Structure 1
């Protein structure tokens, strides 16, 4: 049974979560420019993220199988670093994490969830569109002449 919960520093090992993020994003190594910052996450960088961000975890049979960060930004909650262990994909874990961020956003009074997705990852764009996210703009990473990522949002009714 897949469940989600907030990160608990007394219970959860950041080293394990860093490993999960690295495994989840490894498939993009060498396929997107610039490289995903997720691949350079460390225990220290996650610790710093936790100072201003919420981290939600998915568990499957007591094992951490997914993670996602949520950051309050004005009237929105920014969904970041959605990661699912490749060994257990296609079991609804990403959906459960997105639903968890949505529930969190609603409790904070946010009007929407926002995120960024690389243009080179059309399957990710399609996935978020299926969950009600729409394009709100394009971004260009430093050093590039053309857009490299898409901003998306899901508004609450």
Structure 2
């Protein structure tokens, strides 16, 4: 059954470990494909709980089959760590979590939802473009003299 409504994860949620496992599983395909390696390798249960406390973590399903991190930044809401269980892809779960990010941005009075995706992940660029995001810039991780990520934004109002 496809979960319908996103729910917010509390910092002390018993699902923190499952969220970390979902992110690790969902991002594993990037290993050996992106340089530098994904920051998910440094993610811990404590870091997920800290994100839930300082920002927001939203999930679908119990146990979670899709998750996203949201962080308020000046003038925008940053969308990160969007992950969907491989067995649940193609069912609109990422779209639901992006819609939740848009709802949260509007509630918070923020006109833009922003994300970063790695240069190598062209399929992600296309997916986010279909969801209304446009490329607004490129960044390089410390120590790199070439772009390693692209920034995409969706203007809400």
Could you say which residue in structure 2 is the equivalent of 1:2?
A: 3
In the other structure, the counterpart of 1:51 is 53
- Secondary structure of 1:67's counterpart equals strand
Tell me the equivalent position of 2:116.
116
Measure, in 1, the Cα distance between the counterparts of 2:26 and 2:64.
12
Task: Name the structure 2 match of 1:26.
Answer: 28
Superimposed CA distance per residue, residues 23-51 of structure 1 (whole angstroms, 9 cap, x where no aligned partner)? 11011111100000113311112122223
* Corresponding position of 1:85: 85
Q: CA RMSD in A?
A: 1.4
Normalising to structure 2: TM-score of the pair?
A: 0.93
**Aligned-pair CA distance for 1:11:** 4.8
Displacement of 1:63 after TM fit? 3.3
- Cα distance in 1 for partners of 2:114, 2:144 equals 23
Partner Cα distance (1:10, 1:48) in 2: 10
How far residue 66 of structure 1 moved from its aligned partner, in angstroms, is 0.7
Distance 2:138 2:129 in 1: 15
Structure 1: which 4+ aligned runs deviate by more than 6 Å? none
Unmatched 5+ stretches in structure 2: none
Q: Is 2:107 aligned against 1:107?
A: yes
Report the Cα offset of residue 10 of structure 1. Answer: 5.7
The number of residues matched between the two structures is 155
CA–CA separation in structure 2 for the residues paired with 1:22 and 1:46: 12
Q: Does the CA contact (< 8 Å) of 1:26 and 1:39 recur in 2?
A: no
Is contact 1:25-1:83 (8 Å) kept? yes
Higher strand proportion: 1
Q: Which runs of 5+ in 1 are unaligned?
A: none
Q: TM-score, normalised by structure 1?
A: 0.93
